[in-house]
Amino acid sequence: MKKFRKVLDGLTTSSPGGTMGSPSSGSAAGTPTAAPTPKEIDIQETLVSENFQMCKTVRHGFPCQPTALAFDPVQKILAIGSRTGGVRILGRPGVDCYCQHESGSAVLQLQFLINEGALVTACADDTLHLWNLRQRRPAVLHSLKFNRERITFCHLPFQSKWLYVGTERGNTHIVNIESFILSGYVIMWNKAIELSTKTHPGPVVHLSDCPKDEGKLLIGFESGMIVQWDLRGKKADFRICYDEAIHSAGWHHEGKQFMCSHSDGSLSMWNLRNTTKPFQVTFPHGKIQKDGRKESCKPILKVEYKTSRSSEPFVIFSGGLSYDKAGRRPTLTIMHGKAITVLEMDYPIVEFMALCETPYNNEVQEPYAVVVLLEKDLIVVDLTQSNYPVFENPYPMDIHESPVTCTAYFADCPPDIIPILYSIGAKHKKTGYSQKEWPIAGGTWTLGSNTYPEIIITGHADGSIKFWDASAITLQMLYKLKTSKAFEKPKPVEGRAADLVEEDPFAVQMVSWCPQSRIFCVVGISAHIILYRFSKYDANTQITSLEVRLQCESEDVISPSDNENNPCFSESGSHSPQTHHHHPASPGSRTPEGNKDTIPCLKVKERMVRVPPGYQAELVIQLLWVDGEPPQQITSLDINSAYGLLAFGNCNGLAVVDYLQKTILLCMSTLDLYGAADPYQRLTRSPRRNRQSTSGLTELSDNQQSIDMERSKSPTSESRENSFSRSRSSSVSSIDRDTKEAITTLQFGESYGRKNDALPNPCLWVGTSLGVVLVIPMSIPTDHEERMEEPVTMGPSGTVLMLKGSVLRFGFLDCMGSLIQSPYEVWRDLNGPEDPDRVRKRKLVHFSPSSSQDSCGEGHLAVVCSERQAKVILMPSQSVLFVHNITESSFVLRADVVSVSNSVCLACFCANGHIMTLSLPSLRPLMDVNYLPLTDMRIARTFCFTNGGQALYLSSPTEIQRITYSQEMCDNLQEMLGELFTPIETPEAQNRGFLKGFFGGNSHNFDREELFGEAAAGKASRSLAQHIPGQAGMEGMKVAASGVVGDLARARIALDERGQRLGELEDRTALMMSSAEVFSKHAHELMLKCKDKKWYQF
């Protein structure tokens, strides 16, 4: 624990006041303190570096670019591999684990060791990995790297420790799963095929053991060659040379026949009694044409042949449709008896797998569902009902339903908000799902002890907003809001304007939410803002529309006559502009013929509409086109429910709206906000037209550099998947090169607008892209009736503070170092039924900086963070107490003042991938971790911090990655995660009966160890494959194994040892009793012998 004391009388600071070559004389931060201040600040900082540790917690969403699928029928868990080397393992809701191969190579195939708590992955770098799933964080036990051959197919028989590995050369190798060492037994391609065959059979595409006899291995080659290999005799039982390429094969459970799928869209059935030709060939989707020929069909990429006791077998396959129709959707076909059902999919099929009741391949399979892995979705079809309904997916697999464009993360929300959002959202859920329970129900998960309400909000390209319950490291969708419903459908635009209009005009750029008042604000890419109120009742509403003309250039001539006579706003209401506001000049309204002018990008619905319960649009604010150019995108937003105000800005200026009175209070260019206190002393210039596109870039002239304009953009104004330009960090050293100064951050709060203020007032803190901070005091009527009728007055005060780089975030602390929350209005339902007891007036909650610090006087601390620097400033004296230069070589993308371990800190995410935390108020570095290199715009746009030491970002277009930087949460993570493996008895094999056992082959007598072990097969060539031990060996994993399995194993070992000791003790006791009996017997005999003798006879 460290104490910081600073005497503030006559305090001066030597911190750099000006940035980018500007004169420091314009900064009030470097001047001696003149206002009355506390004699001493005494803040005890409790956070130390030991309170912080970086750790990934959980990943949500659909695995990006999936490649492989596997299912454990006993444990009932599912694994999905991806092209980037990731593996997601799913069980019951709450059991969701993400693993990543260090190599990053694509996962080709997955194989569970059924009911063993292990998984084999085959990757594109020709490496096999064995993962231990008997722990909450799976780890690699062994790896085997093939050096000379490419892996194409793997097969692991149930309850076998020998893995068959097919290669591109056509060879089949055998790997011992326990030791992960190659066996000397190899099935070479030239031995498998006939000597007379002159061509190579191609890569191995299928391997499976015969259900009737495990000693027979079916090998399928790409060219159409099929071989059944006798593992004992080391020879081929039969060879089939088919004239169509093979993609997959599947056995009948009796092991007498099998089915193959081919590249011409056909299915061939083969009987082991006669393998000279197939006994059946079908083209399920091939029609006979007029000339008698079959129409050509697409390849059937996979087929599964599953038997059922009560009905005909199921034949399930993907592909095989005819080529006659272009643009047909991908399909999964289910053939059951004579019935053929074609299920159309929204995305291409990557893999599918039938889920069966038994893990034994020689029993009736009884399929009950089929899992279909699509490129962007995961669906499970119920096979037990004739209409084949899909199961309702309990995982959040639809985050990417429309591309995610922004995120927000709220920890420790009001406890009533999640149930009410869920109850509203549940009314709009889809129907028609299977009534049965979700079949992937493995693992165990319990609600942790230290959970609190958390909500994640995602904004999307189609204008939709999704609210997610993120409590206890799970994710469940609560409520969906469509912002596009506030507008008329956009009409197609032609000509030059079509190039300037956004492809997704409703795309969400940023959101602002007050959970206490339930006021919600959305900023869209078409320079529009929608304000929503929450109601539990439906209502007839008409949306109010305000139009703002905020297209002012910082180089324009500022003249008093223009300011008085040409206000830069227009509004659609009856309210007139407030005469006491100071407005800058606006460009003329004359435009070339055919160009848009003074119109918004979107048209608001003007009619009265019936809106359902939930979030209901109340107000839409839109920026207008000027001179045929679209408005600049909005770069910052803040809303305060207690004040009833909404502020937003872009690279042209700032606007403040009173959403209670539906009026525009302030509309100013950034330069005009300074008045005479401009720290750069910029000269006025003649008007100049800068042409811009909606992406935010300007055609610059007069020695202006595009890099300067790049700096004025916030990451949210970029297109969704742009590559990130690091030139944003470059400082502007010449005032002549300066173009526009964007408003980059805004914050309402109780503060001091002027140095001589004795009491805090409502203020708006404004941060710009040039590192300037302005404080704008406001006068807001306190009485309810006056607030609805009297105007709110506000005006720039001249308070200007300076930092290096673009300002990102404000935070306020009291003089005890505690975080001051923004004031808010308590939520009330305006659409509720008339009730005399209902509160009609607004109930406000204020957190005044001076309410709890009588001991240290009035005032508060302002935390200001920019791209490069953080400062802690004492208000109202504006004395800089602490300065910390965060980075010189990079720049900060996201910063926030957050609560961690019952204290507060400043958390920063830099463009070079570093995540840092700084103590408050002293700005001591507590943590600096090189966590994540910034590779694209997605991470910069979606990274956000929240309280409790948590953060999130979009790790791929379809997945949200949650992380923690709190040591306490890292310690509790094991408790919060689900168990993948649960001890379950393996189902017993069915009694096959005497006759079937006698005539059905000798599969149970097959001993693989005899054939593949080192004693019989010898050692494989060392150059063929290299064994790589995992990070934790088997013994280490046994020690590290936690949860039920580890406890049971340890208990069992302890019981065994105790029982052994008890047995040994019992044996020793019995031996002692026996020897005692012998001794007693001898003593008795001796006594009888000597009983009648006299003493002298001895």
What is the reported pLDDT for 992?
A: 59
Q: What percent of the chain is predicted at pLDDT more than 70? A: 78
Q: What is the largest CA-CA distance in the chain?
A: 153
The number of beta carbons lying within 10 Å of the beta carbon of residue 2 is 12
Question: 416 — alpha (psi -120 to 50), left (phi > 0) or beta?
Answer: alpha
Q: How far apart are CA 131 and CA 110, in angstroms?
A: 11
Say whether pLDDT at 625 is over 60: yes
Q: Mind listing the pLDDT tens digit for each residue in 797-808?
A: 767 889 999 999
Q: Which of 71, 40, 61 is nearest to 938 (CA)?
A: 61
Say whether pLDDT at 527 is over 60: yes
Mean pLDDT of 322-336: 85
What is the reported pLDDT for 1014?
A: 78
Phi, psi (deg, nearest 5) at residue 349:
-85, 125
Helix (H) or strand (E) holding 1082: helix 1043-1090
The number of beta carbons lying within 10 Å of the beta carbon of residue 786 is 11
Which residue did the predictor score with more confidence, 593 or 585? 593
Phi, psi (deg, nearest 5) at residue 104:
75, 10
The overall average pLDDT reported for the chain is 81
Q: How far apart are CA 858 and CA 863, in angstroms?
A: 17
Q: How far apart are CA 993 and CA 982, in angstroms?
A: 32
Helix (H) or strand (E) holding 759: none
Q: How far apart are CA 344 and CA 377, in angstroms?
A: 13
What is the reported pLDDT for 501?
A: 66
Half-sphere exposure (Cβ direction) of 698: Cα atoms closer than 13 Å: 28
The answer to which of 169-178, 611-620, 718-727, 994-1003 has the lowest mean pLDDT is 718-727
Cβ contact 779:794 at 8 Å: yes
Output DSSP code: residue 473. G
Q: Mind listing the pLDDT tens digit for each residue in 943-984?
A: 999 999 999 999 999 999 999 999 999 988 888 888 999 999
What is the reported pLDDT for 431?
A: 81
Q: Mind listing the pLDDT tens digit for each residue in 672-708?
A: 888 767 777 665 443 333 333 333 322 222 333 333 3
Cα dist from 153 to 69, 163, 167, 405, whole Å: 13, 11, 7, 39
Question: In Å, how far from its chain's centre is CA 878?
Answer: 41
Say whether pLDDT at 500 is over 70: no
Mean pLDDT of 587-610: 68
Which residue did the predictor score with more confidence, 725 or 395? 395
Helix (H) or strand (E) holding 447: none
Counting Cβ atoms within 10 Å, is residue 474 exposed (0-12), middle (13-18) or buried (19+)?
Answer: buried
Q: Mind listing the pLDDT tens digit for each residue in 982-1006?
A: 999 999 888 655 445 545 444 456 7
What is the reported pLDDT for 703?
A: 32
Q: What percent of the chain is predicted at pLDDT more than 90? A: 55
Helix (H) or strand (E) holding 785: helix 784-789
In sign, the C-alpha dihedral spanning 598, 599, 601, 606 is: positive
DSSP string, 286-355: PPB-TTSPBPPB--EEEEEEE--SSSPPEEEEEE--BSSSTTPPPEEEEEETTEEEEEE-SS-EEEEEEE
Q: Mind listing the pLDDT tens digit for each residue in 117-131?
A: 999 999 999 999 999
- pTM of the shown model: 0.82
Alpha-carbon Rg for the chain, nearest whole angstrom, is 37
Which residue did the predictor score with more confidence, 491 or 761? 761
Half-sphere exposure (Cβ direction) of 333: Cα atoms closer than 13 Å: 24
> In sequence order, which ranges of 878-966 are alpha helices (DSSP H)?
937-942
Output DSSP code: residue 847. -
Say whether pLDDT at 4 is over 70: no
Q: How far apart are CA 354 and CA 352, in angstroms?
A: 7
Residues 6 or more apart in contact with residue 970 via CB below 8 angstroms: 53, 55, 964
Say whether pLDDT at 766 is over 70: yes
DSSP string, 112-171: EETTTTEEEEEETTSEEEEEE-SSSS-EEEEEEEESSS-EEEEE--TT-SEEEEEETTS-
Query: Nearest-5° angle of CA 982, CA 986, CA 991?
Result: 165
What is the reported pLDDT for 687?
A: 35
What is the reported pLDDT for 595?
A: 53
Q: Mind listing the pLDDT tens digit for each residue in 392-416?
A: 999 999 999 999 999 999 998 898 9
Q: How far apart are CA 1003 and CA 989, in angstroms?
A: 13
Q: Which of 430, 418, 456, 482 is nearest to 611 (CA)?
A: 482
Cβ contact 163:155 at 8 Å: yes
Cβ contact 621:528 at 8 Å: yes
Strand order in the sheet with 331-336: 300-306, 314-319, 331-336, 339-344
Q: How far apart are CA 725 and CA 727, in angstroms?
A: 5
How many helices and strands, by DSSP H and E, does the chain display? 14, 64
Cβ contact 548:624 at 8 Å: yes
Categorize the per-residue pLDDT at 538 as very low, low, confident or very high, splitting at 50, 70 and 90: very high
Phi, psi (deg, nearest 5) at residue 436:
-80, 160
Mean pLDDT of 383-397: 93
Helix (H) or strand (E) holding 965: strand 959-966
Strands 663-669 and 743-751: unpaired
Categorize the per-residue pLDDT at 764 as very low, low, confident or very high, splitting at 50, 70 and 90: very high
In sign, the C-alpha dihedral spanning 354, 359, 360, 363 is: negative
Half-sphere exposure (Cβ direction) of 314: Cα atoms closer than 13 Å: 27
Q: How far apart are CA 297 and CA 172, in angstroms?
A: 31
Helix (H) or strand (E) holding 1086: helix 1043-1090
Mean pLDDT of 635-651: 95
Asked if residue 515 has a cis previous peptide bond (ω within 30° of 0), the answer is no
Residues 6 or more apart in contact with residue 1060 via CB below 8 angstroms: none
Show contacts of 225-232: CB within 8 Å, 24+ apart: 225/193, 225/197, 225/201, 226/260, 226/270, 227/192, 227/193, 228/272, 229/172, 229/187, 229/192, 231/1006, 231/1008, 231/1011, 232/1006, 232/1011
Cβ contact 42:5 at 8 Å: yes
What is the reported pLDDT for 570?
A: 35
Q: Using the CB atoms, write b or e for 351-377: b if 16+ within 10 Å.
A: bbbbbbebbbbbbbbbbbbbbbbbbbb
